[in-house]
Every structure is written in C-alpha cells, then in structure tokens.
Amino acid sequence: MSKFVVALLAILLSGPAAAQCDVARDLPPVCNLQPGAYSPMADAKTYTPPSCNTDDPASDEERELIAAAISRAPSDIQDDLCSVTTIFINTDQSLGVLEEEYQGNGSYISLSQRTIAGGFGIKLEDEEDLIQNEVRKAYKNNVTLDHDVWGDSRKLGVLAVMAHEMAHILWFSKNVRAKSCFQSAFINTSWVKNDRFDPWIDFAEDTMNEHKGTNDHPRRGDNLSPGQVKRIYGRFASLFAAVSPVEDFVETYKLSAFIDGVTRFRVEIDPSSQEVDIKASSAQEPLAGKLRCVRSF
C-alpha cells in the first residue's frame, strides 16, 4: 500500500449530520483514466495530474452506478466522497491518490473496470471474497473466506471499494495517526506498536505491528487456523484490517460506509465452516469503538 496507490475499505452514533453533498448536483467528474500518462510517483519535474480519456468517455450507466453507490453511504461519508477532485475508471487496479504539496492539491479515486462491471457493479460479497482471500493468500494461509450479504449488494460493492480508497486519502489529509480516538480505539485496544507508517507499503505488507494480547497476528508464511481467523473477525473489521494499524483504520472506515445498508453480513471460514456475524460484531466492542472513531472525522 502507499500514500498514493492503494492496491487491490449498527453504527452507534445518534445520527449523522445532514449531508452537504447533493450527489445529483455535487458528484465529482467521472471519466476513464487517460492510459499511460499518469504516474503518482513522479517527481516535481515530471509529474502531471491524472487526466480524462476524452476519446473514451465513461458511460451514463457507470456515472449513475457511482452516484447511486455514493447515495447508499451515510451522509458524512457522502461528503467525503463528493470532495475528491475526480473519480476515474481504469483497466487495472483501484487507487486512492492524494497529491503531495509539490504536485498540487488534488485527490482522486480510481475504480477498476472489475469494480464497475460494465455499469452493473461488483457484488459486495464477491468484492470481499476477492480482497480478503488475496490477503490470506499473501500470507500463505490455507483458510478460505466466503462472505454472505443481504442488501443492495452491487451498489454496496462499489461503495466498499470507493470507501477503502477514500480512507487512504483521509489517513493523510486528516493526519489520522495523530487523532486521540485513533490512539484509544485502535492502538490501545489492538496493537502493541504504533510505528512503521511508511509512505510506501506493498499490498498486505507485514509491517511488524503486533496484535495486543493475542497470537493471531497474520505473519508472512504463517498458517493461521480457522479459529484464529475467527478471533480476528471478532476484533477487526476484516482480515485485511488485522495486517496493520493503517489498514485497521481503512477497513473500519469501509465497513462504516455500508454496514447500515445490509441486513446480513457474515463470513464463513473454511475448512471448518466457522462463521462470524460481522453485522453483530460491529455493535460490540472493540469494533464498535473503532467505528465511532472513523465516523468522528
């Protein structure tokens, strides 16, 4: 993961404030990313902002899908998503971009064609199956995760991807690691260390931030048992969230974007068929406290 590139994100607040974003009016520009012309890692001399491919515009169906997905989010998260400069669609991976000071002041979300799925949108359960199993494969775990969702699954799947990328932008723009609630709700409850916040981190990289009070921390090459993975899901928003404090925040923010929109959200952990009700866990500590924190920014 990096500051710029994010590879393959029951709330207990009394009620969010009214959204400032009117999605129909304030949706950021949506377009296909101009291929080959943008590198978020370019230095000050060679950097150019991402641009739209005017020869291949986004379809009305894609714009409508993105707008409908944002509309499914709580009002404060709608505001966050409406605040980005541009929402791009690209052929590769989904990205979250926050420009450095020498580059400008833009922020961008880029969605893969897989996420948009021809204007229909990826199902939330398919998105979670893909991402969480990519994490467990990166750590060479033999468990398989199978998610079960009841709700507006396709729009919530697109929303989940956008929220994950938005959270990586907020991590830097809001200086999340310095917030008191991040310290109390995330570090103090779940992590022994609060270091290794490098600007450039590979997908699911082991950052050596160990879990507090448990031996369930994913390690490269370890083979966590289904029982250990189940305990992770009782304390974290996802397996991905358990990799590092940064991903803990990002995946919790993502969960907060769609959890109120589902009536059922569960994960089955095979080969033992152990199940976690993530919807129920979201109303219990410590996950409930993490959700309150991410919604307070």
Task: Report mean pLDDT in 10-residue bins for the chain, 297 residues.
Answer: 36 44 92 86 87 94 96 96 96 88 92 90 96 83 91 94 96 92 94 64 63 65 77 91 91 97 95 93 96 93
- Which position has the token pair 């307070």? 296
Q: Output the pLDDT for position 4.
A: 37
Sheet with 107-112, strands from edge to edge, namely 30-32, 86-90, 107-112, 95-98
| 12 lies in some domain | no
Beta bridge partners of 98: 107
| 5 lies in some domain | no
CA distances from residue 172 to 82, 188, 283 in whole angstroms, order as listed: 17, 21, 27
| 3 lies in some domain | no
pTM above 0.85, yes or no: yes
Nearest-angstrom CA–CA distance, 60 and 275:
39
Q: What angle do CA 73, 66, 122 make, to 5 degrees?
A: 90
Exposed, middle or buried: residue 262 (CB in 10 Å: 0-12, 13-18, 19+)?
buried
Q: Output the pLDDT for position 210.
A: 77
| 9 lies in some domain | no
Nearest-angstrom CA–CA distance, 124 and 257:
12
Range of the domain at 93: 23-294
| 235 lies in some domain | yes
Contacts of 180 (CB under 8 A, 6+ apart): none
| 183 lies in some domain | yes
| 227 lies in some domain | yes
Beta bridge partners of 111: 89
Q: Output the pLDDT for position 13.
A: 31
Closest CA to 291 of 130, 136, 81, 76: 76
| 155 lies in some domain | yes
Query: How many domains in the chain?
Result: 1
